Amino acid sequence: MTDKELKKLSRLELLELLLAESRENERLRAELEEIKQENAVKKSAEQLSETSKQLDETSGKLGDALQQVSLLIENLNKGVCVNVENKSDLSSPDDKKTEEISEVDSEPIVKEITELEKADEIVAEDESDFADKDFEKIFTPDDISRQIDAILQKISLRIKEFDSIADDVTTNSKVSSS
């Protein structure tokens, strides 16, 4: 409308125009708010989906790590059994070192496995009730990977210690049998 047309309108007509514009403005604001909420829901769903994929990948890596740890422990147990058998065959004067190998403290290794299993349970719980938790409170896949790496490093150190003891016993057994 032009200024001339507006000046010709009565106060009642102007108020009706203002009221109509106000209603249209409110309707558009409500529509805008609804669109914002839909976008927020879509964005949250995408984040949830992405995080869920990352958790799936991490739990798969965790399962693989648990299998590797189980195999390592199995191999360690076999090595201890072989060393115990060798101890009885050698009957060397250095039985003290051989006894150290047969009495290797497996408690730290078992503790590491227990920690890995707990981490796996945490991942499973997070997957099951993921929608109920805040994103900031959940471990990220990188956090879990770092924890797994730290645990595997500890296990690797224990294996090196075991290998060192086994090498000492083997060397001492060869020297004493000569």
| DSSP states of 112-145 | HHHHHHHHHHHHHHHHHTGGGS-GGGSPPHHHHH
How far apart (Å, rounded) are the C-alpha atoms in residues 86 and 92? 10
Banded pLDDT at 59 (limits 50, 70, 90): confident
Q: What's the pLDDT tens digit per position in 43-55?
A: 999 998 888 888 8
Q: What's the pLDDT tens digit per position in 110-148?
A: 777 777 777 777 766 666 655 555 544 566 777 777 878
Q: Residue 149, SS3?
A: helix
Q: Residue 106, SS3?
A: coil
Would you tell me how many other CB atoms lie within 10 Å of the CB of residue 34? Answer: 10
User: What's the average model confidence in pLDDT over 76-86?
Assistant: 70
With a CB cutoff of 8 Å and minimum separation 6, the contacts of 97 are 165, 168, 169, 172
